[in-house]
Amino acid sequence: MVWIFFERCTNLFDSNKKKMLHVAPEYCFQRRLSRIKGIDYLTADISMPSAMVKMDITDIQYPDNTFDVIYCSHVLEHVVDDRKAMREFHRVLTNKGWAVLQVPIERPETTYEDPSITDPAERLKAFGHPDHVRCYSAKDYEQRLIDAGFSVKRIKPLEFASIEEIEKMRISKNEDIFLCTKL
């Protein structure tokens, strides 16, 4: 879904020079993104040995306005201070840049988090994964991004893919893309 979004709804492939940060890089994307002409591509992760740099996204070691594109998918639900990480992404994004910051949306109304739950087995029960520290709702998640300084556009898969494509690729019709830009 995200690759189709990149192709159809962004300037990622327009061959203009861009500096891109890819957090917790998925191998299938990493291989493809690293080959795109004009993209200065950087992968980062706090623990993944294959990432180009070790990075704590709550304390990004790059100056303000460094990256034209940031892609971070299914990471923030693991980060204790997700709001600080969002502010850091905002800080290092260029004024004309954009970020796609995806999280699993699992709650209908309100994000659920409880910092007192630290045991992996208890986190599994509470958040669905032993490493997660919260379950997001779309409304709350969008507001957190706005609070970090972003302008957020929620884009539904049906806005860039046909029903046939969505069914063929088994894309969830309910998983919106959160496209973030600076105000």
Residue stretches of the chain with pLDDT short of 70 = none
User: Alpha carbon of 141 to those of 1, 44, 167: distances in Å?
Assistant: 19, 23, 26
Amino acid identity of 76? L
Angle value at C-alpha 73, between 144 and 10, nearest 5 degrees? 90
Angstrom distances, CA of residue 148 to CA of 79, 152, 179, 180: 15, 11, 14, 10
> What pairs with residue 136 in β-bridges?
105
| DSSP 8-state class, residue 46 | S
Sheet of 105-107: strand order equals 105-107, 134-137, 112-113
CATH class entry, domain 2-10+17-105+137-182: alpha beta
Please state, in angstroms and rounded to a whole number, the distance separating the CA atoms of residues 103 and 129: 13
Give residue 70's pLDDT: 98
For 5-16, b/e burial (b = at least 16 CB within 10 A) is bbeebeebeeee
Distance CA 151, CA 45 (A): 25
Predicted confidence at residue 108, as pLDDT, reads: 78
What residue ranges do the domains of the chain occupy? 2-10+17-105+137-182
**What is the spatial distance between Cα 92 and Cα 1, in angstroms, rounded to a whole number?**
25
